[in-house]
Amino acid sequence: MQSRKVFQAVCRPHMWIAVAVMACLTATALATEPPDNTASPAQRAAFLAGTSKDCPGCDLRGARLKRRDLSGADLSGANLTDAVLHAARLTNAKLAHATLRDANLDKADLKRADLTGADLTEALLYAADLSGAQLDGAILVDAHMQHSRLTRAQLRNADLTRADAREAELSDCDMSHATLKQANFSNANLSRCILSDITADRAGFVMARLRDAKLNRISAIQADFYRADLSGADLTGSDFRGSRLERADLDGATQTGMKTQGALLVDGTVGQ
């Protein structure tokens, strides 16, 4: 009897600790489990019929939605691979974590849309309006963005590797920590953009406007800034080794700690 009491006295606190730990682990698992956004067949049918705008988590691969009014729609997590959204109205739409690979969004109105974490690999965004859109963490690898409008857009940590954004309007955007490797921003307007800590190795900024932009601590190795307007830009601590800065405008730019070894400089000389 005495030994039983001793056993209970010693083991009971440990049992309560084990129960508490198990409860805590269960609560954590439930909290971190992603929400189930899978739409019902009826919800998908209603969306495709045009009687509903919302279809979060829907399988909409290849859907024909040209010129559809989807302003304010909830399509978060939806699969819109190969979908046709040409000239669709998607202002204030919820497209966070949606899959839009190879989707046609040419001339679409995406002002203030939430595309956080969306996959837009090889998407067509020619002349699309993404002014004020949220694209933090979005994947825009090989995206076609010529003449698109992204003023005040948020593209922090986005991946724009090999994206074609020639003549795009991106003034006042935030692309800090984004990846722009081999992307083409020739003749684009990036004035006053925050481009701090981006990786833009071998990217093209020929004749781009980067007036008063923040380009501090960027990696732009072997990038092309021929005749780019970098006046007033902050280039502190940035790496331009092997890049072309020939005939670029650096008037008033902060150049403290710039690395320019092997770069073709403004005056045509090679950086040492």
Q: pLDDT 10s digit of each residue in the chain, 272 long?
A: 444 444 444 445 444 444 443 444 444 444 334 445 567 889 999 999 999 999 999 999 999 999 999 999 999 999 999 999 999 999 999 999 999 999 999 999 999 999 999 999 999 999 999 999 999 999 999 999 999 999 999 999 999 999 999 999 999 999 999 999 999 999 999 999 999 999 999 999 999 999 999 999 999 999 999 999 999 999 999 999 999 999 999 999 999 999 999 999 999 999 98
CB within 8 Å of 248: residues ≥ 6 apart: 225, 226, 227, 228, 229, 230, 266
CA distance 97 to 8: 52
- pTM of the entire predicted model: 0.85
Residue 40: its pLDDT value, please?
83
The pLDDT assigned to 272 comes to: 87
Count the alpha carbons within 13 Å of 93 in the hemisphere toward its beta carbon. Answer: 30
43: part of which helix (H) or strand (E)? helix 41-49
Tokens of 199: 């990786």
- The pLDDT assigned to 38 comes to 66
Token reading at 165: 């954004």
**What does the CA dihedral 74, 75, 76, 81 come to, rounded to 10 degrees?**
-170
Q: In this structure, what token pair is assigned to residue 169?
A: 């309007």
| Closest to 57 (Cα-Cα) out of 95, 103, 89, 83 | 95
Greatest Cα pair distance in the chain: 96
In 66-175, where does DSSP find H-type helix? none
